[in-house]
Structure 1
Amino acid sequence: MDRLSSVLSAFRPKATSVTSLRFSRQREHLSLSSDSSYWLYMISGELTLTAQGNSRTELKEGDGVWLASGQNMDVSLADKRQFETSILICEFDFGTKALNPLLDLEWQWIKVEKDDGIAQQLLALSTLLLAESLQPRCGSQVIVERLAEAYLVQMLRQFIQTQKIQLGLLAGLSDIRLARAIVAIHEQPQQAWQVASLAEEAGMSRSVFSGLFKKTMGMTPMAYLTSWRMRLAAQRIKNGDRNLAILSDQLGYQSEAAFRRTFKKVIGVAPGAIGR
């Protein structure tokens, strides 16, 4: 399994809505659910998005920004004389930020400018997505949702290939050596991995591997292994897998009690509280 698919097989993005919004007033408010991820694409005009803590980004026509999780933002138009400022909003159910490791980002949002190489690689999909969403025809809703999902996966692929992200899982997957160890964890979470065996997967010495992994991923290899197992468990429980004895065995735990303790410590709630 390739490095991105090793994550997407467990946390698959699903487009829940694709809409366009027009802004006409100088200052407006945009509220996006924290339970969803978003891709915002400037169709026309220019604006500035300002979130809590004064994090802000300016978007011009053809620019886009990926939000790992939604938030409340103020929208300011760049020019009072603008007659039309519109933005395409793609909303995704991509698992919560607490569960999906792909959403562990150093930044709350990632901007892709129009002239960026990533934007050029996505141009064909952007054109199709805009055409279907702005001029609805028979079956457009289904087509638009699938196009939005393909767009997100392509964008994540570009983030990895261009090493755009510097910290977290996407950064780790961008390093071909670390990626081998990370994919091994993803594909065989039940394995009794140790730092030495993961370093061997990466083709690195134990000390160099440990240092690079922590610097890139923001945590030690064994901490990531535990985090992946528990997030995977939470995702499976959320999807209806309630047999904890079998689940704990599948994730490398010799006792259900040890699994329960680790789950509560990592996720913050007992397994039974997931999905309620």
Structure 2
Amino acid sequence: MDRLSSVLSAFRPKATSISAFHFSRQNERLALSADSSYWLYLISGELSLTTHGESRTRLKEGDGVWFATGQDLRASLIQRLHCETKLLICEFDFATKALNPLLDLEWQWVKVEKGDEIALQLSPLKSILLTESLQPRCGSQVVIERLAEAYLVQMLRLFIQNKKIELGLLAGLSDARLARAIVAIHEQPQQAWQVASLAEKAGMSRSVFSGLFKSTMGMSPMAYLTSWRMRLAAQRIKNGDRNLAILSDELGYQSEAAFRRTFKKVIGMTPGDIGRQSRL
């Protein structure tokens, strides 16, 4: 399995909302859910986006920005005479932030400017998405959702290829050596991986591998292995898998009690809590 598919096969993005926002006031508040991922694309006009923490970026027509997780934004118009400002907002359900490793860095946003290589490669798919979004036809809703999902996957692939992200899972997958170890964890979470065996997968010495993994991923190899196992477990429990004895064995734990303790520590709630939430 390739490096991106090894993540998306477990946490597949689903487009939940695609809409065009027309600005009628100088300042608008965009409340983007922290449990969703977003792609914002400026169809026309010029706009300044500011987060609650005062991080700011300026978008010109044709620019876009990906938010790993949503946050409250203040959008301010940069006025140009007789120019309408219109923003395409694509919202994606990627599992909750507690489960999806792609959403770990809640502050993370990645700007894609109109003329850069990533934007040029996304252009054909973007044109179809905009046409379907702005000129709805029979079946457009389904078409738009699938196009938005394909657009996001292609964009994440290009982020990896172009080493666009410096910290977190996508950054780790951007490094061919780390990616071999990460994909091994994703594909065989039940294995009794150790730092030495993962370093061997990466073709690196143990010490160099450990240092690079932690500086790139923001956690140690063993911490990531545990986190991945527990997130897979939570996803399976949400989807109706309630036999914890079998589940813990399949994820490399020798006892259900050890599995339960680790689950509560990593996820912040018990397996039973996850199961009850999924039935609500």
Q: Distance in 1 between matches of 2:206 and 2:83?
A: 60
Name the counterpart of 1:96: 96
* Per-residue deviation, 1:108: 2.7
Partner of 1:49: 49
Which residue of structure 2 lines up, in the alignment, with residue 191 of structure 1?
A: 191
Q: Residue 28 of structure 1: CA displacement?
A: 1.4
Unaligned runs of 5+ in 2: none
Q: Deviations over 1:226-258 (max 9, x none)?
A: 011011111111122111111111110010000
Give the number of equivalent residue pairs: 276
Gaps in structure 1 of 5+ consecutive residues: none
SS in structure 2 of the partner of residue 73 of structure 1: strand
- 1:261 alignment partner AA: R
SS at match of 1:189: coil
Distance 2:199 2:69 in 1: 32
When normalised by structure 1's length, the TM-score is 0.97
Runs of 4+ in 1 over 6 A off after TM superposition: none
In the alignment, is residue 38 of structure 1 matched against residue 38 of structure 2? yes
- After the TM superposition, which residues 113-132 of structure 1 pair with which residues of structure 2 at under 5 Å, given as runs? 113-132=113-132
Match of 1:156, SS state, is: helix
SS at 1:54 equivalent:
coil
Aligned match of 2:139: 139
The equivalent of 1:251 in structure 2 is 251
The amino acid across from 1:256 in the alignment is: E
Quote the Cα distance in structure 1 between the aligned partners of 2:212 and 2:2: 21
Deviation at residue 81 of structure 1 after TM alignment: 3.6
User: Does the alignment pair 1:109 with 2:129?
Assistant: no
* Distance in 2 separating the partners of 1:268 and 1:129: 38
Alignment of 1:144-163 (within 5 A): 144-163=144-163
Contact 1:24 1:83 in 2 (8 A): no
- Residue 3, structure 1, aligned to residue 3, structure 2: yes
Q: Is the 8 A contact 2:69 2:107 kept in 1?
A: no
The CA distance in 1 between the partners of 2:80 and 2:199, in whole Å, is 57
Q: Distance in 1 between matches of 2:226 and 2:106?
A: 20
Aligned to 1:178: 178
- Residue 221 (structure 1) aligns with: 221
**TM alignment of 1:11-26, pairs within 5 A:** 11-26=11-26
Deviation at 1:104, TM superposition (A): 2.1
Shift, 1:106, TM fit: 7.2
Q: 1:54 to 1:15 in 2, by over 3 A?
A: same
CA distance in 2, matches of 1:106, 1:209: 26
Q: Kindly provide the amino acid, as one letter, of the partner of residue 167 in structure 1.
A: L
- Report if the CA contact (8 A) 2:69-2:106 is conserved: no
Contact persistence 1:45–1:82 (CA under 8 A): no
CA contact 1:38–1:70 (8 Å) conserved in 2? yes
Distance 1:244 1:150 in 2: 34
Aligned residue type for 1:139 = G
Residue in structure 1 matched with residue 87 of structure 2 by the alignment: 87
Partners in 1 of 2:40 and 2:151 — Cα distance? 12
Task: State the distance in 2 between where 1:81 and 1:54 align.
Answer: 27
- Separation in 1 of the partners of 2:28 and 2:80? 13
CA distance in 1, matches of 2:24, 2:111: 23
Do the aligned residues in 2 keep the contact of 1:68 with 1:97 (CA within 8 Å)?
no
1:186 alignment partner AA: H
CA distance in 1 between counterparts of 2:230 and 2:220 reads: 15
Partners of 2:112 and 2:118 within 8 A in 1: yes
Alignment CA distance shift 1:150-1:187 (3 Å): same
Per mean C-alpha deviation after superposition, the further-off stretch among 51-60 and 159-168 is 51-60
Query: In the aligned structure 1, how far is the partner of 2:66 from the partner of 2:259?
Result: 34
Percent sequence identity over aligned pairs: 80
Q: Is the 8 A contact 1:16 1:92 kept in 2?
A: yes
Q: Distance in 2 between matches of 1:157 and 1:107?
A: 20
Q: Within 2, Cα distance between the matches of 1:272 and 1:82?
A: 57
Alpha-carbon distance in 1 for matches of 2:126, 2:162? 19
